Amino acid sequence: MKGFAYILTKYKLYTIISLSVAFALWELIAVFIVGNSFILPSFTQTITSLYNLIVSMEIFADLVISLYHFAIGMFFGIILGIPLGMLMGWFKTVDNFMDPIIELIRPIPPLAWIPFAIVWFGLTHQSAGFIVFIGTFFPILTNTYSGFSSVPKTLVEAAMVLGCTKNKDLLKSVGLPSSFPDIAVGLRVAMGIGWMCLVAAELFGVSKEGLGYKIWWYYYLHRMDNVLSYMIALGLIGLGLNWGFRYIIEKKLLKWMEGTVY
């Protein structure tokens, strides 16, 4: 226990040193080399700007809108991607039928759907959510498919010997528990892609509000310190979402897997 505490303390120390060096270099380069706050605002300018945005509550209003867009896309990505991935991974006929369609659409970048998002939904929250959905759907689908298509045959046979013979029972009792680690990976990847798609969608005008929209808006005002502040906020929120997901899924729901890999 003491050894673990020492390692954790040492890790935190390295983190502080690393970030301090990075911020110092940023400040020195911005002030003494670049010398133009439009090209590169200094660290102190950016932190002051971020503080003002927090105090004025402006950044929180944009955060709520962006999280709403993100939630729309993730919700539909989950409720459509997981069931379809289950069916494709478990039933060969469904896989044969759906695979050509999926593989035709999957390589299309999510941002290519922006014109249709605007035409179908207008400049609305649903439009931004649709772009996030496109970005999240395929990682969830493919990882769910991978999990269900690679369920060990021995597990299925053992369950059938014990009386679990119906497909719905096998899916529930064997397929889903065995595939859940793959589904969790798909969800985590989808969250990262969806967050990037959200910002891109808001930047390109799918929404009139949100963190991405404000980056573009402040660029037009030549307030690059605010642009960097919003970028930092995006990074911190993305980090927080990732940590929260890992804690809930990996530390709680996948706790039974601890110790399976050395």
Does 67 fall in a domain?
Answer: yes
Q: Which residues contact 34 (CB under 8 A, 6 or more apart)?
A: 40
CA-to-CA distance for 202 and 246, rounded, in angstroms?
27
The pLDDT value given to residue 179: 75
Backbone angles phi, psi at 22, to 5 degrees: -65, -45
CA-to-CA distance for 42 and 36, rounded, in angstroms?
9
**Domain range for 157:** 41-255
Structure tokens at 183: 């589904």
Let me know how long the chain is: 262
Structure tokens at 29: 């380069």
Backbone angles phi, psi at 117, to 5 degrees: -60, -40
CA 62 to chain centre: 18
Does 26 fall in a domain?
Answer: no
Structure tokens at 191: 């969250």
The pLDDT value given to residue 136: 94
- How many domains, in total, are found in the chain? 1
The pLDDT value given to residue 162: 65
Where are the alpha helices (H) located in the chain, listed in sequence order? 2-28, 43-55, 58-90, 92-105, 114-121, 125-149, 153-161, 167-170, 176-203, 211-220, 224-245
CA-to-CA distance for 74 and 188, rounded, in angstroms?
11
The pLDDT value given to residue 71: 93
Does 16 fall in a domain?
Answer: no
CA-to-CA distance for 10 and 21, rounded, in angstroms?
17
8 A C-beta contact, residue 144 and residue 179: yes
The pLDDT value given to residue 262: 42
| pLDDT tens, N- to C-terminus, the chain (262 residues) | 455 454 446 557 777 888 888 889 988 898 888 888 888 888 888 898 889 889 888 888 889 999 999 999 999 999 999 999 988 988 889 888 998 999 999 999 998 998 899 889 888 888 999 999 999 999 999 999 988 887 767 766 676 666 666 766 676 666 667 778 888 888 989 999 999 898 888 887 677 778 888 888 898 888 898 999 999 888 888 888 888 877 777 666 666 555 554 4
Does 2 fall in a domain?
Answer: no
pTM recorded for the entire structure: 0.80
Does 63 fall in a domain?
Answer: yes
Does 248 fall in a domain?
Answer: yes
Q: Which residues contact 39 (CB under 8 A, 6 or more apart)?
A: 224
Does 13 fall in a domain?
Answer: no
Does 86 fall in a domain?
Answer: yes
The pLDDT value given to residue 157: 62
- Give the CATH number for residue 221: 1.10.3720.10
CA-to-CA distance for 134 and 190, rounded, in angstroms?
10
CA-to-CA distance for 199 and 182, rounded, in angstroms?
26
In the chain, the amino acid numbered 55 is V
Burial 236-251 (b: 16+ CB within 10 A, else e): ebbeebeeeeeeebee
